[in-house]
Amino acid sequence: MKNKFGFIRICCVTPVLELADVKTNAERIISACGTAAAEGSDIIVFPELALTGYSCADLFRQKLLYGSAAESLRMIASETASIDAYIAIGLPVMHESRLYNCAAVIYGGCILGLVPKTYLPNYGEYYEQRWFSSGADVFSDSVVISESEIPFGTDLLFKDHLGRFTIGIEICEDMWAPVPPSVRKSLAGADIILNLSASNELAGKAEYRKELVSKLSGQQLVAYAYCSSGISESTTDTVFGGHRIIAENGHVLAENQRFEKDESFTTADVDTDFIAHERINNKSFSDCAAVELRGDNSGSFFRMVEYGDDESAAGDGLNNIMLPSALKRFVDDRPFIPARADSREIRCREILSIQSAGLASRLRHIGCKTVIIGLSGGLDSTLALLVCIEAFRQLELPVSGIKCITMPGFGTTGRTKGNAEKLCDALGLGLEVIPITAAVRQHFSDIGHDENNHSVTYENCQARERTQILMDKANQLGGIVIGTGDLSEQAMGWSTYNGDHMSMYAVNTGVPKTLVRFLVEYYIDHIADEAAAEVLKDINDTPISPELLPPDADGKIAQKTEDNIGPYELHDFFLYQVVRCGFEPEKVLFLAEAAFDGRYSRDVIKKWLRLFYRRFFSQQFKRSCVPDGPKVGTIALSPRADWRMPSDASVRMWLDKLGD
C-alpha cells in the first residue's frame, strides 16, 4: 500500500498450524501472505515458531524438525518473491551447535536476516532454556541457510528499501523483560517493532498484555505489532488464544477477538510520519538515544539490513493512489473529546479541575477576592463563570466576590440575555446590567462612523466598549477580569484585538470550542442543581454567536459564527492535525475526508481548510500577546510556553499545497 502520507499497513496473521508439520505450515504461511498482500499490506507478521509450532518441546532437538524449518524458510522466500511486503516468520535455527528461537525477515525473495530471542522464559509452564540458547550470546554475525550467508543477531534492524520505515524485532518474552530489547532498537531508529509471540492464555493476562503493548508503543514513540499463536497451538496443559494487537504511540489501533478457530488477520495502518513528528518534538527521546547508544563496547551499535537497491526492489515507488475510505485506522473527527462516556467524564472533571486550580492559584498569589466576568448567556462565558465558582469553592471564598456583568448591545437577543439572568439567579449570584448602545453610539459619533454601516468597525466598537467596562469595573472593585475566549477562537484569531482578546486571566484559553459543550454538560450532570441545569441545557443549545449584528425580524440570533468561518468541528480537527501532529496540508485534507465521510464533501473541507490556514497565519499577532491562562491539553497557543511563530510568516507554501 504505497502512499505519500506515511501510512504503513501491518497485517498480523494467526494461521491454523499443525504441530511439527513444517511442510503444511509453510504452505499455509505462503497462502496467508498472498491474502494479506492482496489487502495492500506492507508488513506481514506471523507468530513465534510459526513454521514448527511453539509447543514441540523435545521435538526441537530433532534435526528433521529444525532442518526442515530452514529448508522451508528458503522455499517461502522464493514463493513470496513477487509480494511487495516484508514478512516476519518465527522458526528454530541451528547455529554453531546451538539452537535459537528466531524471527526471520523476508522481502523480495531474500531472507534479509535472522533475529534470535534474547530472553528465554524458564518458569511456570515455560521451559525454553531446555531447548534454546539466548541471542545475547552469539559467536558470529551470520548464519548459512541453503548455501546463502544470512545476517544473524539481536543487533539487526531492517530498513525499507524506499526509506519509509525501519523494523526492529523482538520475540515474546523479550517484551515482558524489565528492559525490552525494543527500547534500544527504537532509540537506534526503528519506528516499527514486530513481536512474534506464543503467549498462552490465563485469566486476566490478555488485558495486561494489551496494556503492555500500548505502553511500550507510547514509551518508545513507535508502532508496535504483536502477533501470537492461536488455539491450534494448544496442547497438554496450555491454551493459546491468538491475541493480536497493533498500537502506535500509546494508542491501540487494532485488536482481535481471541480464540478464533480459523486462520485470522488483524490489520491496521500505522503512521510513521506522526512517529517521526513525535520523536522530533520529544527532546528526551534523542537525549536518551545519545546516552544509551554511545560508541563503547556495550554492543550499542545496530546493523542496518536493507534489501538490494531501488531497481531490484519488488515495490514500484511511492504514489498517492490510496483513498481516504480505504484507510485501515480510525480517524477521530473529535480528537479533543474521548469517545467513551466514562473516559469523557474523567477528562472533563480533570479539565475543570485544572482551570479552577489555575485561577485559584492566581487569586491566592495576588491576594484577590474579586473577579469580574462579562456574561453574555453564551457557552464560553458560561464555562468561565462555572470555573470561577469552582475556584472560589477551593479558596473557600464567598461567591459574592464573583461580579457578573451583562452588557446588551445592538445584537443581543432576549434568549441570551434571559439565560444570563436566569443562570445568575439559579447560582445565587448578582448580575449587573450595563447597556452599551448609548456609549457605542457616542463613540460612532466621535470617530465619524455611520451606525447603518455594519462593518468590522461596527462590531469591534461594541467588543472594545465591553472590555473597557470590565477593566474599569475591575479597578473600581479591586478585582481581575476573567477572559472567556477559547482555544479555537485563539487559533482562528476570532476575537477583537484589545477587546474580548484581552483579560487579566483567561480560563478557557486551553479549551477548544468542540469541548466547551461537553464541559458544561459535565457540570449539568455532576455539579449543578436542577434549576441551574435547566438553564445550562438551553445555553448549550444556543447557536454560537458574538451577537454584534442586529437580530432578525423575529428577534432571534442572525449572526452565526459558523456561517462565517465554517464549522468549529472542522477547525478543531484541523488545529489538532496541524499543530499537534505537524501534518502537511494534503495529509490534513486526506484525514479530514476520512473522518467526515458522508458529512462534508472534499470541496467543502478544502474551502474551510484554506480559510483555517489563512487565519491561523495572519492572526498570529493576536496570539503573540495573549493573557495568562491554564494549559489543559497537548495543544496550547501561548507564545510563552507552547507555540512560537513569527507574526509575519507567509502562508503561501501551505496554500499552494492545497491547490485551487
pLDDT (tens digit per residue) in 436-467: 999 999 999 999 999 999 999 999 999 999 99
Q: Does the active-site annotation cover 172?
A: yes
| Mean pLDDT, range 231-250, rounded to an integer | 93
Instruction: Give 480's strand partners.
Output: 371
**Res 307: pLDDT:** 85
Sign of CA dihedral 364, 366, 372, 374: negative
Identify the band that residue 558 occupies on the pLDDT scale cut at 50, 70 and 90: low
Which residue has better confidence, 543 or 628? 628
User: pLDDT category, 397, cuts 50, 70, 90?
Assistant: very high
Question: Any idea what the Cα angle at residue 645 is, between residues 640 and 650, rounded to 5°?
Answer: 165
- Cell 522458526 sits at which residue? 91
Element housing 181 (H / E):
helix 181-187
pLDDT score of 190 more than 60: yes
What is the model's pLDDT at position 518? Answer: 95
Q: Residue 427 has what pLDDT?
A: 96
In this prediction, residue 557 has a pLDDT band, given cuts at 50, 70 and 90, of low
Sheet holding 251-255, edge to edge: 251-255, 244-248, 223-228, 192-197, 166-171, 156-159, 303-306
Identified catalytic residue from 11, 12, 56, 117: 117
Q: What is the mean pLDDT of the chain?
A: 93
Which residues touch 533 (CB under 8 Å, ≥6 apart)? 524
The pLDDT, as a whole number, for residue 299 is 44
Q: Could you report the per-residue pLDDT of 515-529, keeping only the tens digit for each?
A: 999 999 999 999 999
pLDDT above 80 for 313: no
For residue 548, the model assigns a pLDDT of 62
Higher pLDDT pick, 36 / 300: 36
Q: Residues 6 or more apart from 406 whose CB is under 8 A from it?
A: 374, 375, 376, 377, 417, 420, 421, 431, 432, 433, 434
Q: Does residue 591 contact residue 324 with C-beta atoms inside 8 Å?
A: yes
Strand stretches in 165-216, DSSP E: 166-171, 192-197
* C-alpha closest to that of 394 among 351, 338, 440, 356: 356
CA–chain centroid gap for 620, Å, is 25
Model pLDDT, residue 320: 53
Confidence check: pLDDT of 311 > 50 = no
* Whether residue 312 has pLDDT greater than 50: no
Catalytic-residue membership of 48:
yes
Q: How many residues belong to the chain?
A: 660
pLDDT at residue 552, rounded to an integer: 75
Whether residue 615 contacts residue 493, with contact meaning beta carbons closer than 8 Å, is answered with yes
210 in catalytic set: no
Question: How far is residue 629 CA from its own chain's centroid?
Answer: 24
Q: What pLDDT does residue 318 have?
A: 54
Q: Report residue 545's pLDDT band, with 50, 70 and 90 as the boundaries.
A: low
Q: Measuring CA to CA, how many Å separate 14 from each of 19, 71, 225, 386?
A: 14, 21, 13, 52
pLDDT digits (tens, 9 = 90+) for 419-428: 999 999 999 9
pLDDT tens for each residue of 136-150: 988 789 999 888 899
Reported pTM: 0.91
CA angle, residues 23, 29, 30, in degrees to nearest 5: 90
Q: Which of these, 210, 196, 13, lies nearest to 103 by C-alpha position?
A: 196
Cell of 318: 511511492
Q: Which three cell numbers mark 656? A: 499552494
**How far apart are the C-alpha atoms of 538 and 517, rounded to whole Å?**
11
pLDDT at site 549: 72
Q: What is the pLDDT of residue 586?
A: 96
- The pLDDT score that the predictor gives to residue 631 is 96
The model's confidence at residue 543, banded by pLDDT at 50, 70 and 90, is confident
Contact 443, 459 (CB under 8 A): no
| Interacting residues of 205 by C-beta distance below 8 A, sequence separation 6+ | 199
* Residue of 2, 11, 12, 48 with catalytic role: 48
Tens digits of per-residue pLDDT, 316-342? 555 556 788 899 999 999 999 998 999
Q: Which residue has the higher pLDDT, 308 or 326?
A: 326
Q: Is pLDDT of 209 > 90?
A: yes
Q: Which positions ≥6 away from 248 have C-beta within 8 Å?
A: 217, 222, 223, 224, 270, 271, 274, 275
Under the banding of pLDDT at 50, 70 and 90, the label for residue 310 is very low
Q: Domains, the chain, ranges and CATH?
A: 7-315 (3.60.110.10), 341-565 (3.40.50.620)
pLDDT score at 2: 67
Q: d(Cα 299, Cα 160) in Å, to the nearest integer?
A: 23
Residue 379 dihedral angles phi and psi, to the nearest 5°: -65, -50
pLDDT digits (tens, 9 = 90+) for 7-32: 999 999 999 999 999 999 999 999 99
**Would you state the pLDDT for residue 317?**
53
Contact 516, 508 (CB under 8 A): yes
Average pLDDT over every residue of 154-161: 95
Using DSSP's 3-state secondary structure scheme, residue 309 falls into coil
Q: Which of 172, 227, 368, 424 is catalytic?
A: 172
Strand partners for 505:
482
